[in-house]
Amino acid sequence: MLIVLAALSGCGRPASDAPIVVLVLVDTLRRDSLACYGGEHPTPAMDALAARGTRFEQAISSSGWTLPAAASILTGVSPSVHQARGKRTRLTPISPDVETVAERLDAAGVRTLAFTNAAFVNPLLGLTRGFEHESHRHAYNQDIRRAGETFGAALAELERDDGRPTFCLVHLFDAHLDYDPPGEFAARYTEGLADPRRPLAFPDCSRVPPGEQEPGVSVEHVRRVRAAYEAEVAYVDHELGRFLAALEERGDLARTTVILTADHGEEFWEHGAFEHGHSLYDELVRVPLVIAPPPGAQAAARVVPVQVRTLDLAPTLCELFGVAPGERHEGASLLAVADGRDSEPRSALAEGTLYGSDKFALRTARHKVILDRHPQAARPVELYDWTVDPLERDDLAAREPELARSLANELEARLSALEVLARELRPGEVQDLSPARLEEYLEQLESLGYGGGD
């Protein structure tokens, strides 16, 4: 599929021939907020990537919140193995014994750049290990570095081309709470809504703590909150378009493969709660995934209907650079899937919650089973046939108990096998990333070389 990037990176090539792969990881990006995935509003830059590349219809994240999901993307292993997880602000970094894809590419001579934002994607949690250049803005839901500034920093560093192949991670936090889109985008999507306040913080959206069921939410309220979120997505799309246009203007787009995806989505009360980190329903774990080669490198857009995982991205990156995959990689490269050589659905595990009881899910080619390990769970096992019930409204567990039990047992067996692997690995030191300790974290980051807010 696409091109064989390794062929472009031979010794003695001029700098302009060295391949670039940019992974755009948009925090909290719902797949149905993109027009190419059926969204109501235009997302021209993202849609253009899909139009010249491959769009994966059934891409499943490893979790419904940032840290474990992003860590799986960057390590190619499940949360049970990399062990980056936690509750609320007490978080465990990636195990020091688990190699990141950036470390692997760096060892192979690839230039590695990262531009990350917010508390859950930062050097203290191991997600940026292996990047020789890392620009991080440590913030919570407020005072974030917007997409335009983040893309600008990436463009400036990409221009310092030294002739090596380049892997560039761009992590964007705009679509996450608080919803605070720049003026013209807010105006575009809040027109006609009652009380179009901004920014919208969590208390403006939900009257109950994160993860709790919230009855009686009006259609108008859902519409207003979703409109503010969609305005953030529109702004991200606009800045992505400017980034791609800048690459094209200076002649770099012709050697750049862009991968667009999300760590997780966002719930707007589809299952009774708001935001993310509390469940493993598809509005959170079924994410957008587009791989777009340089313009002209692929004859036509492709849509892949078979199920894949975002943890397949680490071995995909390795193949794009001609590097052998890591020994621990659970996934496999998506390039054979994208060009039709591999059409086998890949069963997907999703693990963990930031709020409430621990939940685990197994999504097969047809069904999804969700386990709630709380001893007093109202529904310890849920079962859905997502092929006919994509919104996961019809729980089949009581009507098909044998199937539910079989899939639950398979899920437990797979989790047990992962836990056996994890016993050989050292856990990272727990970090309490409470906003009250912000100054302490900034000092720690400065000691690691991330001064001046970056």
The pLDDT of residue 429 is 85
Residue range 270-286: mean pLDDT, rounded: 97
Q: Report if residue 408 sits inside a domain.
A: no
Q: Report if residue 330 sits inside a domain.
A: yes
The pLDDT of residue 192 is 65
Pairing mode, strands 166-172 and 111-117? parallel
Residue range 69-80: mean pLDDT, rounded: 98
Residue 417, pLDDT > 90, answer yes
Q: Which residues pair with 111 in a beta bridge?
A: 166
Q: Answer with the residue of higher pLDDT: 447 or 166.
A: 166
What does the alpha-carbon distance between residue 247 and residue 245 come to, in Å, rounded to a whole number? Answer: 5
What does the alpha-carbon distance between residue 425 and residue 321 come to, in Å, rounded to a whole number? Answer: 27
Task: Please answer whether residues 360 and 373 qualify as being in contact, where contact means their C-beta atoms are separated by less than 8 angstroms.
Answer: yes
- The CATH code of the domain that includes 199 is 3.40.720.10
- Asked if the peptide bond before residue 162 counts as cis, ω within 30 degrees of 0, the response is no
What does the alpha-carbon distance between residue 297 and residue 217 come to, in Å, rounded to a whole number? Answer: 48
Sequence-distant (6+) residues with CB within 8 A of 327 are none
- Asked if the peptide bond before residue 345 counts as cis, ω within 30 degrees of 0, the response is no
Residues shown for the chain: 454
The pLDDT of residue 6 is 36
pLDDT band at 453 (very low <50, low <70, confident <90, very high): very low
The model's pLDDT over 297-330, given as tens digits with 9 standing for 90+, comes to 887 889 999 999 999 999 999 999 999 999 999 9
Q: Report if residue 12 sits inside a domain.
A: no
The pLDDT of residue 369 is 98
**Buried b or exposed e, range 244-269, using 16+ CB within 10 angstroms:** bebbeeeebbebbbbbbbbbbbbbbb
Residue range 62-83: mean pLDDT, rounded: 97
Q: Report if residue 193 sits inside a domain.
A: yes
Q: Answer with the residue of higher pLDDT: 296 or 64.
A: 64
Task: Please answer whether residues 290 and 50 qualify as being in contact, where contact means their C-beta atoms are separated by less than 8 angstroms.
Answer: yes
The pLDDT of residue 444 is 57
Residue 124, pLDDT > 90, answer no
pLDDT band at 439 (very low <50, low <70, confident <90, very high): low
CA angle 100, 103, 108 (to 5 degrees): 135
The pLDDT of residue 354 is 93
The pLDDT of residue 16 is 62
Q: Report if residue 222 sits inside a domain.
A: yes
Model-level pTM greater than 0.85? Answer: yes
The pLDDT of residue 445 is 53
SS (H, E, C) the chain: CCCCHHHHCCCCCCHHHCCEEEEEEECCCCHHHCHHHCCCCCCHHHHHHHHHCEEEEEEECCCCCHHHHHHHHHHCCCHHHHCCEEECCEEECCCCCCCCHHHHHHHCCCEEEEEEECCCCCHHHCCCCCCCEEEEECCCCCCCCCHHHHHHHHHHHHCCCCCCCEEEEEEECCCCCCECCCHHHHHHHHCCCCCCCCCECHHHHCCCCCCCCCCCCCHHHHHHHHHHHHHHHHHHHHHHHHHHHHHHHCCCHHHEEEEEEECCCCEECCCCCEECCCCCCHHHHEECEEEECCCCCCCCCEEEEEEEEHHHHHHHHHHHCCCCCCCCCCCCCCHHHHCCCCCCCCCEEEECCCCCCCEEEEECCCEEEEEECCCCCCCCEEEEECCCCCCCCCCCCCCCHHHHHHHHHHHHHHHHHHHHHHCCCCCCCCEECCHHHHHHHHHHHHHCCCCCCC
The pLDDT of residue 3 is 36
Residue 186, pLDDT > 50, answer yes
Residue range 211-239: mean pLDDT, rounded: 94
Burial class, 1, CB count within 10 angstroms (exposed 0-12 / middle 13-18 / buried 19+): buried
Q: Report if residue 439 sits inside a domain.
A: no
Q: Report if residue 419 sits inside a domain.
A: no
Beta-carbon count within 10 A of 322 CB: 16
The pLDDT of residue 7 is 34
Residue range 363-387: mean pLDDT, rounded: 96
The pLDDT of residue 8 is 34
Q: Which residues pair with 166 in a beta bridge?
A: 20, 111
The pLDDT of residue 423 is 93
Residue range 342-347: mean pLDDT, rounded: 92
Residue 388, pLDDT > 80, answer yes
The domain in which residue 315 lies consists of 19-341
What does the alpha-carbon distance between residue 19 and residue 6 come to, in Å, rounded to a whole number? Answer: 8
Percent of the chain at pLDDT > 90 equals: 78
Residue range 15-36: mean pLDDT, rounded: 93
Task: Please answer whether residues 253 and 244 qualify as being in contact, where contact means their C-beta atoms are separated by less than 8 angstroms.
Answer: yes
To the nearest whole number, what is the mean pLDDT of the chain?
90
pLDDT band at 173 (very low <50, low <70, confident <90, very high): very high
The pLDDT of residue 274 is 96
Residue range 66-84: mean pLDDT, rounded: 97
Q: Based on C-alpha coordinates, what's the Rg of the chain?
A: 21
Terminal Cα-to-Cα distance of the chain (whole angstroms): 36
Specify the number of domains making up the chain: 1
The pLDDT of residue 317 is 98
Q: Report if residue 11 sits inside a domain.
A: no
